[in-house]
Structure formats: structure tokens, C-alpha cells
Amino acid sequence: MRIATWNVNSVRQRIDHLVTWLGDCAPDIVCLQEIKCVDEAFPREAIEALGYNVVTHGQKTFNGVALLSKLPLDETTPRLAGDDEDVHARFLEGVVTHKHGVLRVACLYLPNGNPPETEKYPYKLKWMSRLLEYSRERLKTEEPLVLAGDFNVIPKAEDVHNPAAWVNDALFRPTTRESFQSLLGLGLTDALRAVTDAPGQYTFWDYQAGAWQKNHGLRIDHLLLSPQASDRLIDVGIDSYVRAWEKPSDHVPVWIDLDLEAA
């Protein structure tokens, strides 16, 4: 089973890109972030025509997440528990059934947190604390779980072109990275780092200063796997070629292949 994540940065602007990439990559489940539209405005017809079930948790102009699945979604749950006052559309969990059991996938768009001297950074850290609690509870079920999305976290120095330029950024602050490591400390596996230690594995290039052309990138889009999912990990890919398309998202898709037949 191929599971992918992509911060599409406005699905209506990028629908042609999305449809083309779905044909190229043929993922079974896709987690989209920053769809930037309400549920009713999501261009579901073009995606459903490719055989996907579509569930969205949208928000006007900002944020918004979606799950696309070739398998029926048995249940879906929007919003991350832990703060009833948080109205941002940043989280959508789905469950699918395969031959050997269930697979739970959580699509997330973690807050950016910049500028860090504003209220945005405490909000980011609180959101990460809520995600930690969610993960702790889900791991108790001992079922295959994938946390996929734009984490807005640069885990380590090798995950950014110029670490020194990012030391005060909310994405790379020590507290941010420590919170991410706490997730791994629960027993989750960073899928990409399970298959390669190579630097330069970027998923985001800013629109400014020729970042794409110079390959001045970051790795902030991640797939974290429970032990029951990481045991079945076959491969990981970053489809960086889509960043070269006309009017692209500043993020590119990342995907994993799981062998669920061996379950």
C-alpha cells in the first residue's frame, strides 16, 4: 500500500498538478494539507473520477486538510483533541480496512509558529503537546498507524540547506526539535530516516531567492510510523520533480510503501 502526503498549497489552484501526480504516483491513500477552501468548494469530482474516496476538513482561505483513499474510509475524525477552542482545520484521522486488519492514518498540518516571539509559537508547542498525547493513546492499541503531513519541523541540521540561517526560526528552534523527538521517543519511526541517512532530502523550497534553483531546501513533511507500520516499511520516496512544474506548490509529495500482505 502506498501512502503519501502533500502540502498542496491551495487545491483549487493546483488541481491539475494533483490529478497529474495522482496518475504518476498511484498512491492508495493521500494526505493533503493547506487545501485552503471550505468542504463544499473542494474539487472532489476530478479526484473521485480517479477512484478515490474523498473526505475533507476545510476552512475558508487558510489551512484545511483532506484524505483521499482508494479503500473505503470506515471512519473519519476531524480536529485534534485537547483544545475545544482551536477552530483551525489542521487534523483529520481516517481508518481503512485491508485484508489483514485495519490501518489508521492521521493527516496533519502542524502550526508554523512564526514569528516565534508572538503567540503563534506557544500555539505551535501546545499543538505538538496535543499530538504527543494523541500518539501516546493511539500507540496503546498496537495497530498500524501513520502520522503524515506538514509538521513544520526541521528535525536535524542535515534536514536543511543552511542550518545557521534557521537557528531562531520556529521550525528549527531547540524546543521544536525536542518536541518532535518526543514523538519518536514514544516509539514512532521517521520513515525517511529509516531508509537513508543522506543529507539533502528536502520536501520544501521557498518561492523566494531562487531557493528551488539553488536547492536551498528543508525537510518538514514527514511520515511517522507506529512499530506495527514500520515493520512493514518497504520504501520511501520524495517526488521533488513536481516542484519544477509551472506555478507549483512550495512543498512536494512524500510517500511510503507498506507491505500489508505480510501482516
CA atoms of 93 and 96, how far apart (whole Å)? 10
* Whether 109 is catalytic: yes
Whole-number Cα distances in Å, 6 to 57, 108, 257, 258? 15, 10, 15, 18
- Per the residue annotation, which of 150, 159, 169, 221 is the catalytic one? 150
| Closest by CA position to 33, among listed 250, 226, 258 | 250
Spatial CB neighbours of 37, under 8 Å, sequence gap ≥ 6: 10, 11, 12, 58, 60, 64
- Per the residue annotation, which of 52, 109, 121, 134 is the catalytic one? 109
- Cα 249 to its chain centre, rounded Å, is 14
Q: Residue 143 carries which side chain, given as an amino acid letter? A: E
Whole-number Cα distances in Å, 139 to 134, 145, 250? 9, 8, 32
Q: Which residues are catalytic?
A: 109, 150
